[in-house]
Amino acid sequence: MGDRNMQQSGLLCRKTLFCWFAVAISLVMLSMIYFGSTGRPRLVDHNLLPNDKVFSVIENRITPSRARNDEGANGEPSLSDESARGEQETQNCDPSNALLKVYMYDMPSEFHFGLLDWKPDGNSIWPDIGTEIPGYPGGLNLQHSIEYWLTLDLLSSRFPDRPGPCTAVRVDDSRQADIVFVPFFSSLSYNRHSKVFPPENISRNKLLQQKLVKYLADQEEWKRSGGRDHVIMAHHPNSMLDARSVLFPCIFILSDFGRYHPNIANVEKDLIAPYKHLAKTFVNDSAGFEDRPILLYFRGAIYRKEGGNIRQELYYLLKDEKDVHFSFGSIQANGINKASQGMHSAKFCLNIAGDTPSSNRLFDAIVSHCVPVIISDDIELPFEDVLDYSKFCIFVRSSDATKEGFLMNLIRGISREKWTKMWERLKEVERHFEFQYPSQKDDAVQMIWQALARKVPAIRQKVHRARRFSSVLS
């Protein structure tokens, strides 16, 4: 009798424990549905299933650390589904959610749009870009035009009807800013105003650089940081030649480091930005491996100075090779259209070091979906901290490329399948190298702002370290 009572009692106990366990599990599941993955309360939607994409959190503001953590298994930035991206792009920009807060100097127009022959109206400093945008000269001027696109983007960043993206926004108080932007069109200044015209004994370009140094030295923002949080665009390799050694604490936006001393510019401090491509973007490209009859393509200047001597060596190695097009070319005589047609018809496009390690030809190849073959040992590439160029480019050391037969054996040994993967990847990444106004999600303008945002913690550390002892004296 006692054993039976004990068995009934044990059974009741087990049932009770099971009930409590079931209740606890139910409460946990309800709390997960109610609070969601973010820990914030939200309404319950009975149509949601655990594997629904709706559970993914879509945020307008992506911090630098978030951008790194969102990389896929192959090391590339992961992309949310197209519907979510489309929804995000149609939202208006909310300045409070901007990734990067930028203070831009209201510098006299002679430093920026005045170089485009724009005339200020009364006391105005900036053109009314909501009404009319000053045009930018074409040809070789255009490839170094990043200053133009970035400045336009900042000027429009607070337009009330501006749609996303909302990466960088202009602020009025420099103390609230992450960086200070210097709107000097230095590449345009070099291209158009480097010559000395008598009776003057100094070029307008050099005079503007002298004025820039004086202007910055007088600004409270420069004095406060020593220029460490200032961003100066010097994309043309010869721009800022007279001022760069004085303004070296700042962040330069460059095309490469070919003509810079490492103490003045380096990959840790500064930023490499893409050229504005001159070749036409290959829209709706279905020209796969069999549809591109040219195996290897190059058109450009063959005889170059300094590191560009390799172009001449390669010309004599490759000029008689079957299915290889290697010729002299320039922008004259419809040269840009000819280069576009050639790249659109080629499987591989040579990008060889010229007078400096970089060349606009790389970005022409990318938008032509012609797999770039990069022969430039000292090249630095834009956004390489988030883009794996080995997925869509072939890299060859100069010492190997000049060996008899090495390059052609390498190119001919690349399978159709491997080429197709790289071709598909080119079509995915080409948007990162498009300069346009208004800027679009993850285009070249937005990628530059994102790259600057990733440098902000290091910039702040430098500024704070520089203040260690100055605060005692103030």
pLDDT at residue 467, as a whole number: 87
In a domain, 182, yes or no: yes
Omega of the bond prior to 357 within 30 degrees of 0, cis? no
Burial of 253 (0-12, 13-18, 19+ CB in 10 A): buried
Q: What is the pLDDT of residue 14?
A: 45
For residue 39, is it within any domain? no
* Predicted local confidence at residue 362, as pLDDT: 97
Give the C-alpha separation, 383 to 366, whole Å. Answer: 14
DSSP string across 77-130? BP---HHHHHHHHHSBP-GGG-SEEEEE----GGGTGGGGT----TT--S--TT
Per-residue pLDDT reduced to its tens digit, 338-358: 999 999 999 999 999 988 999
Per-residue pLDDT averaged across 92-115, rounded? 91
Same domain for 415 and 445: no
Same-domain pairing of 123 and 179: yes
One domain, residues 204 and 141: yes
Adjacency order of strands within the sheet including 168-170: 168-170, 100-104, 179-182, 230-233, 251-254, 271-272
User: Residue type at 189?
Assistant: S
- Quick one: 142 and 114 in the same domain? yes
* CATH assignment of the domain containing 329: 3.40.50.2000
One domain for residues 251 and 129: yes
| 209 and 250 together in one domain | yes
Q: Which amino acid belongs to residue 60? A: N
pLDDT at 6 over 70: no
Same domain (yes/no): 449, 330: no
Whether residue 263 is found in the same domain as residue 334: no
With a cut of 80, say whether residue 29 has pLDDT above it. Answer: no
Q: How far apart are CA 176 and CA 165, in angstroms?
A: 21
- Among 149, 148, 362, 104, smallest CA distance to 256 is for 362
pLDDT digits (tens, 9 = 90+) for 126-168: 999 999 999 999 888 999 999 999 999 999 999 988 876 789 9
Q: What is the pLDDT of residue 101?
A: 97
Tokens of 260: 């810079």
| Secondary structure (H, E, C), 145-185 | CHHHHHHHHHHCCCCCCCECCCCEEECCCHHHCCEEEECCC
Looking at the DSSP bridge assignments, the partners of residue 394 are: 373
Tell whether 258 is covered by a domain.
Answer: yes
Q: What is the DSSP letter of 71?
A: B
Do 201 and 339 belong together in one domain? no
Assess whether 115 and 135 both reside in one domain: yes
d(CA 225, CA 324): 53
User: Across 40-49, 351-360, 432-441, which has the greatest mean pLDDT?
Assistant: 432-441
| pTM for the structure as a whole | 0.80
- Reference 301, options 145, 138, 140; nearest CA is 140
Residues 357, 379 contacting (CB under 8 angstroms) = yes
Closest alpha carbon to 114 in 124, 100, 99, 104: 124
Residue 37 within any structural domain of the chain = no
Domain count, the chain: 2
Same domain for 258 and 143: yes
The answer, yes or no, to whether residue 184 has pLDDT greater than 90, is yes
Q: Which structural domain, as residue segments, surrounds residue 417?
A: 289-433
Domain membership flag for residue 85: no
Q: Which of 69-73, 254-258, 374-378 has the lowest average pLDDT?
A: 69-73
- Which pair of structure tokens corresponds to residue 126? 């900036």
Selected residue with higher pLDDT from 291 and 13: 291
Report the percentage of the chain scoring pLDDT > 70: 77
**Could you tell me the CA-to-CA distances from 443 to 135, 447, 467 in Å, in that order?**
20, 6, 36
| 181-190, 196-205, 296-305, 459-468: least confidently modelled range | 296-305
In a domain, 245, yes or no: yes
Q: What's the rounded Cα separation, in Å, for the pair 47 and 32? A: 15
Alpha-carbon Rg for the chain, nearest whole angstrom, is 28
CB 380 within 8 A of CB 255: no
> In sequence order, what are the residues at sequence separation of 6 or more whose Cβ sits closer than 8 angstroms to the Cβ of residue 296?
318, 321, 323, 324, 325, 326, 346, 347, 348, 349, 350, 373, 408, 411
Within this chain, do residues 161 and 183 fall inside the same structural domain, yes or no?
A: yes
Does 454 map to a domain? yes
Rounded to whole angstroms, the Cα distance separating 296 from 372 reads 10
- Distance between CA atoms of 264 and 243, rounded to whole angstroms? 11
The mean per-residue pLDDT over the stretch 79-98 comes to 55
Mean pLDDT is lowest, of 92-96, 180-184, 390-394, for: 92-96
Looking at the domain assignment, is residue 72 inside a domain? Answer: no
